[in-house]
Amino acid sequence: MQDTSQVVTNTEQVNGSGWSELLYQRLKDAGIAQMSYVPDAGHAQLINRMIDDPEITTSVLTTEEEGVAICAGAWLGGQRSVLLMQSSGAGNCINMLSLIGNCRIPFLTIITMRGEWAEFNPWQVPMGKATKASLELMGVHTIRVEHEDELDAAMDSALTLSFDGDMAVAIILSQQFLGKKKWIK
């Protein structure tokens, strides 16, 4: 059963949300039919936009590696999919990424970083430091976005590499790009 409720967030983003709409439009134009996610404040606006789209099937995950399997199944079933996650979830996917690499299944993930600039939670720092290297060791091509004016070209590159080149690709949205987070009390 598809979750049609809005994602509740417990953080506040400093930066605007124009980039969420850009990502939504690019994913929609690329024919993304499925989106899976673990709720994340950094992706909240994009997640909500995709939940509201009746043409996109959304799946709430209990852990990110389930999303890797959903992306593989979507591709085998003739659909394009995207996995939205936070950098702390990337570590959960490492073993499942061997399926993607060995079978040359197109895979696209968009990752919001934690453990970097202005991080308030020290538990986020270790995976924040290891995300890019861990993904690349598993054969995932990474494209890091630091500024909003880089996002459209990054999406173009990621969509082409993934769905035309049968590659695993991660767009990494830096924590500075996302803006400072703070807990709402």
Mean pLDDT across the stretch 145-152? 95
Q: Where are the domains of the chain?
A: 18-178
Mean pLDDT across the stretch 50-57? 98
Q: Which helix (H) or strand (E) holds 35?
A: strand 32-37
Q: What is the pTM of this model?
A: 0.87
Taking the alpha carbons at both ends of the chain, their separation in whole angstroms is 32
Cα gap 77→74, rounded to integer Å:
5
Q: Select the more confidently predicted residue: 71 or 125.
A: 71
Which CATH number fits the domain 18-178, given the four candidates 3.40.50.970, 3.20.20.140, 1.10.620.20, 3.40.710.10?
3.40.50.970
